[in-house]
Amino acid sequence: MFTHRNDPESNQGVGGCFTDREGGLTLGSMGSLNLGRDDVDPLAGDNRALLRDRIAVERIVTLRQVHSNRVVIVDAASLTNLDDPEADSMVTRMSDVGLAIRVADCVPVLLADQQAGVLGAAHAGRAGMQSGVVGNTVDRMRELGADRIIAWVGPHICGGCYEVPEQMAADVARTHPGAASRTRWHTPSVDLAAGVAADLQDAGATATWLNPCTFEVAALHSHRRDGAGAGRLAGVIWRVSPRG
């Protein structure tokens, strides 16, 4: 079920994980652990429940991701809204709520100030990265009291595989010079990791990279590889309430 997992007990109360394709209920190309949209896969909700039980949170919060730079604050009021908000990032001070970003090649970025108890989770694809979703997330976290922010960056397509038209690579280079790259077969590409790394550094966040390439690793969902039939993996961050 997990490509990587940080248990809260060994991380000052903050847990984080990235999922793979194993351990779910969905059949076919999206299987088995598809954590994508409920209107695409009727079993996605059941898969989410399996994940929720494994990481022992009361609730997993998801977004209607649209490749924007919009950040929403998850609090008691927002949890009463049953529809996923249209956004690509969320931040919270709540405990026992898992913030889940769903991807298949885009970059899932999990963030925390463990001392302050402030969490963030962002979906950084090419468009979101270019419009500043990572920096916006860190800004909102600081407004909630975060100071020393660490990040875990999960599985995504690598610069060696993410081929794009020449014009698109040039456009990316305008906002993220280090992210214009070349594929292994020497055509223009985007290195999302390089762009996100620059954004995290600019925002003063310390990053840990957990990034097998989704396109190359069959155990991970990849939209580039599997097309419309691709499932979604999730990056989830949560915090346990202090004891006593």
Which positions touch Zn ion (CB under 5 A)?
A: 158, 160-161, 213, 215-216
My answer on whether omega of the bond before 189 falls inside 30° of 0, hence cis, is no
**Shortest CB 185 distance to Zn ion, Å:** 11
CB of 139 to Zn ion, least distance (A): 31
CB nearer to Zn ion: pick between 23 and 160: 160
**Which one, 46 or 216, has the nearer CB to Zn ion?**
216
> What's the one-letter identity of residue 235?
G
User: Which residue lies nearer to Zn ion by CB, 120 or 125?
Assistant: 125
Whole-number minimum distance, CB 91 to Zn ion, in Å? 30
Helix segments in 89-131, DSSP class H: 126-130
Q: Residue 125 Cβ, how far from Zn ion at the closest point, in Å?
A: 15
Tell me the two tokens of residue 54: 């494994």
Q: Which residues contact 92 (CB under 8 A, 6 or more apart)?
A: 73, 74, 75, 99, 118, 119, 120, 144
Burial of 227 (0-12, 13-18, 19+ CB in 10 A): exposed
Nearer to Zn ion, 118 or 161 (CB): 161
